């Protein structure tokens, strides 16, 4: 014990460690960790009328059950799940298909396809939202004429303006923009599969479909799981697209409201409703919990179960 | 195997397969680019031509720069771009420097709390900083930083650090120990080891981190809208959002504003796409 202490005293204080680590840690804690924890804490208070009082879980109970709040909250949450499910059903399968095609051996121009298909992902969601708003606008005949030309004219409608179709249309726009992400990540995993494994399968008489199903698919499952959790986090964080196309009110009649827009309105207020920091914090806390539960489920069930292959 | 690969390309089945693959990929490429191209070509056309022939290229009769003139004269696009540039460059630069220093400290030295700090940074990859907005805003007001570009830079550094620390730590681990041990034997200081030996070695990883950090910062709407909505501090994304929202019936200027926001990013992307794709495919280039 004394020997140990003696050694400790002899060692100079590791100033270099502090200098390397402190700036990053300080900024990260001050502007990310602390605000997140403070928001969770703030959600337990009522900050109306300038002074704040501790109310425990009252804000959450209000959100989930109160007539003025619960409808908007459940609506946003349900819409958010729809938004997520459409991404899972479209974005990831299309991304997978494109990745498989891109990784076909000796494909010419695969680099060019990759670069071009990834292009929309690079642009701001705000800009993409406006671009599609113009294209789908009933005033500008682009989509209408286009549909008439391919014989589907009677199906044209103001998709972004109708309660029944606005959310689905916005989901399609988002899928269109972000399909490049699953494509790239799955493509990278497919490239990493050693030829020997695939060749061994071919020699054993597996056809291309069997090669994919029994050899490649198990190897890309961890990537598909990762893409899914990234989609989940991004979807429950979505805000810009709805705000750009539909404004903070997420019209028509809140049919495109997501947790992000609901959070924004709760915090800043709109029309007759005053903004509330503590209610905003409560919404953010619920979003935090939803994302955390998603990430935990992913870590404990999906990632642990899937066999990890080392190449 | 040689016989097989030599035989396959000439077989008719394989030719039709390759044609199918190209057809699908080409079709999807058209779907991906079509909306962007339509907006850009129409930005250069007269209002009449935009509606009469939306898919046609501008010709000598329909070509006009009126929309661009209107956007550039009627709004502060130059200022907005400058703000975006300043915020993005400062934030990315500091994320790279501070992230590399932290990644080095966390991977190279063993100390108490090492695991906890690494875990704290790792959490930030998954939990969006946006959820702390309520407190971030009141913090910025208290620090007298509301409506300043500094507020944005600080938040973006905090947002970018987790991924930077993660990617750079992975990279630091691949640097051979002999390098630093030899330097220590020669009594080189820890600072010199980092700045003169490690930092230059981190360059390729830093380029990847830079691209991944830059895109969300440049494209962000949320924090500019909340922390710096003032006329003087507006970023390009916020500027476009408000301009297009305001002049939504003036098609010429709306299309021009969108083009002004799209083209620089596409040019940058074309320059950095190899770096970005290499980062995404993590060195799996065959």
- Residue range A54-83, pLDDT digits in tens: 888 989 999 999 888 899 999 999 999 999
Interface contact flag, A101 B21, Cβ < 8 Å: yes
Residue B236 · residue B179 · CB < 8 Å: no
Interface test with B, best of A47, A52, A110, A124 (most B CBs within 10 A): A124
Q: How far is B61 from A226, CA to CA, in rounded Å?
A: 52
Measured in residues, chain A has a length of: 311
Interface contact flag, A119 B215, Cβ < 8 Å: no
The tens-digit pLDDT sequence of chain B (286 residues) is 444 444 444 456 678 888 999 999 999 999 999 999 999 999 999 888 888 888 888 888 889 888 898 888 888 889 999 999 999 999 999 999 999 999 999 999 888 889 999 999 999 998 999 999 999 999 999 999 999 999 999 999 999 999 999 999 989 998 898 888 888 898 889 899 999 999 999 988 898 899 889 989 999 999 999 999 999 999 999 999 988 888 877 888 899 999 998 988 888 888 888 777 777 776 443 3
What is the DSSP code string of A197-215?
A: HHHHHHHTT--HHHIIIII
Question: What pLDDT shows up at residue B238?
Answer: 94
Q: How far is A46 from A231, CA to CA, in rounded Å?
A: 33
Mean pLDDT of chain A: 87
Question: What pLDDT shows up at residue B284?
Answer: 41
Q: Is the peptide bond before A282 cis (omega within 30 degrees of 0)?
A: no
Percent of chain A at pLDDT above 90?
48
Question: What pLDDT shows up at residue B3?
Answer: 42
Taking the model in full, what pTM does it have?
A: 0.89
Interface contact flag, B261 A38, Cβ < 8 Å: no
Enumerate residues 6+ apart whose C-beta is below 8 A from B240.
Answer: A124, A126, A127, A130, B80, B257, B258, B260, B261
pLDDT tens per residue, range A136-150: 888 877 777 777 777
User: How sure is the predictor about A10, in pLDDT bands with cuts at 50, 70 and 90?
Assistant: low
Q: How far is B92 from B96, CA to CA, in rounded Å?
A: 6
Enumerate residues 6+ apart whose C-beta is below 8 A from B37.
Answer: none
> Would you call A114 an interface residue with chain B, using a CB distance cutoff of 8 Å?
yes
> Would you call A150 an interface residue with chain B, using a CB distance cutoff of 8 Å?
no
Enumerate residues 6+ apart whose C-beta is below 8 A from B286.
Answer: A191
Question: What pLDDT shows up at residue A173?
Answer: 95
Question: What pLDDT shows up at residue A14?
Answer: 84
User: How sure is the predictor about A49, in pLDDT bands with cuts at 50, 70 and 90?
Assistant: low
Interface contact flag, B237 A287, Cβ < 8 Å: no
Question: What pLDDT shows up at residue A305?
Answer: 63
pLDDT tens per residue, range A79-124: 999 999 999 999 999 999 999 999 888 888 888 999 999 999 999 9
Interface test with A, best of B5, B25, B153, B270 (most A CBs within 10 A): B25
Q: How far is A181 from A186, CA to CA, in rounded Å?
A: 9
Token duo for residue A188: 């990278």
Residue A106 · residue A285 · CB < 8 Å: no
Higher local confidence (pLDDT), A274 or A172: A172
Which segments of chain A does DSSP mark as H helices, in order? 2-10, 15-28, 34-42, 58-65, 67-86, 92-102, 110-122, 125-136, 142-149, 166-178, 180-192, 195-203, 208-210, 217-235, 240-246, 259-268, 277-297, 304-305
pLDDT at A308 over 60: no
Question: What is the dihedral angle through the alpha carbons of B104, B107, B110, B112, rounded to the nearest 10 degrees?
Answer: 90
Q: How far is A262 from A259, CA to CA, in rounded Å?
A: 5
Interface test with B, best of A18, A19, A31, A232 (most B CBs within 10 A): A31
Question: What pLDDT shows up at residue B12?
Answer: 60
Q: How far is A184 from A179, CA to CA, in rounded Å?
A: 9
pLDDT at A22 over 90: yes
Task: Find tokens 């390098």 and name the residue.
Answer: B179
Element (H, E) at A270: strand A269-270
Token duo for residue B261: 């926001």
With H, G, I as helix, E, B as strand and everything else as coil, classify residue A236: coil
* Among candidates A36, A131, A244 on the partner chain, residue whose Cβ is nearest the Cβ of B127: A36
> Which of B32, B205, B273 shows the shortest CA–CA distance to A111?
B273
């Amino acid at each position: 014990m004394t020997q140990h202490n003696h050694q400790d005293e002899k060692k100079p204080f590791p100033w270099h460690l502090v200098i390397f680590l402190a700036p990053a840690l300080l900024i990260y804690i001050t502007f990310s960790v602390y605000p997140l924890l403070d928001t969770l804490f703030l959600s337990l208070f009522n900050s109306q009328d300038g002074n704040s009082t501790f109310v425990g879980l009252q804000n959450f109970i209000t959100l989930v059950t109160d007539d003025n709040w619960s409808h908007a909250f459940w609506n946003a949450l349900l819409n958010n799940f729809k938004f997520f499910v459409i991404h899972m059903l479209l974005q990831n399968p299309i991304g997978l298909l494109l990745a498989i095609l891109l990784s076909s051996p000796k494909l010419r121009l695969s680099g060019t396809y990759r670069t071009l298909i990834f292009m929309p992902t690079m642009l701001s969601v705000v800009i993409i939202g406006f671009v599609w708003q113009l294209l789908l606008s009933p005033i500008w005949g682009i989509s209408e004429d286009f549909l008439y030309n391919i014989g589907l004219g009677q199906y044209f409608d103001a998709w972004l303006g109708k309660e029944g179709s606005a959310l689905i249309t916005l989901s399609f726009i988002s899928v269109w923009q972000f399909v490049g992400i699953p494509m790239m990540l799955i493509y990278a995993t497919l490239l990493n599969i050693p030829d020997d494994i695939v060749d061994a399968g071919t020699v054993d008489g597996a056809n291309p479909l069997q090669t994919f199903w029994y050899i490649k698919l198990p190897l890309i499952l961890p990537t598909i799981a990762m893409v899914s959790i990234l989609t989940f986090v991004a979807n429950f964080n979505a805000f810009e697209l709805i705000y750009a196309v539909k404004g903070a009110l997420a019209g028509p009649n809140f049919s495109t409201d997501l947790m992000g827009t609901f959070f924004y309105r709760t915090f800043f207020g709109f029309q007759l409703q005053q903004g509330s920091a503590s209610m905003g914090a409560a919404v953010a806390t619920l979003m935090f919990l939803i994302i955390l539960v998603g990430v935990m489920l992913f870590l404990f069930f999906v990632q642990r179960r899937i066999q990890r292959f080392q190449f | 195997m040689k016989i097989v690969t030599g035989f396959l390309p000439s077989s008719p089945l394989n030719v039709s397969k390759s044609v199918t693959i190209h057809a699908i990929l080409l079709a999807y490429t058209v779907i991906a680019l079509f909306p962007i191209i339509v907006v850009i070509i129409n930005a250069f056309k007269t209002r009449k031509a935009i509606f009469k022939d939306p898919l046609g290229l501008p010709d000598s009769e329909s070509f006009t720069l009126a929309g661009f003139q209107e956007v550039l004269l009627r709004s502060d696009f130059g200022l907005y771009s400058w703000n975006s540039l300043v915020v993005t460059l400062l934030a990315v630069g500091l994320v790279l420097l501070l992230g590399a220093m932290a990644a080095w400290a966390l991977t190279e030295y063993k100390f108490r709390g090492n695991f906890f700090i690494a875990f704290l940074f790792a959490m930030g990859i998954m939990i969006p900083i946006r959820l702390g907005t309520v407190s971030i805003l009141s913090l910025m007001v208290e620090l007298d930083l509301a409506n300043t570009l500094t507020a944005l830079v600080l938040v973006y550094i905090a947002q970018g650090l987790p991924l930077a620390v993660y990617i750079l730590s992975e990279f630091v681990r691949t640097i051979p120990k002999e390098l630093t041990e030899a330097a220590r034997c020669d009594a080189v200081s820890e600072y010199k080891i980092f700045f003169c030996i490690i930092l230059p070695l981190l360059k390729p990883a830093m380029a990847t981190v830079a691209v991944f950090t830059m895109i969300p910062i440049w494209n962000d709407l949320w924090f500019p809208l909340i922390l710096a909505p003032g006329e003087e501090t507006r970023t390009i994304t916020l500027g476009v959002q408000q301009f297009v929202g305001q002049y939504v019936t003036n098609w010429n200027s709306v299309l021009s504003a969108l083009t002004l926001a799209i083209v620089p990013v596409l040019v940058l992307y074309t320059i950095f796409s190899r770096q970005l794709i290499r980062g995404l495919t993590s060195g799996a280039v065959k």
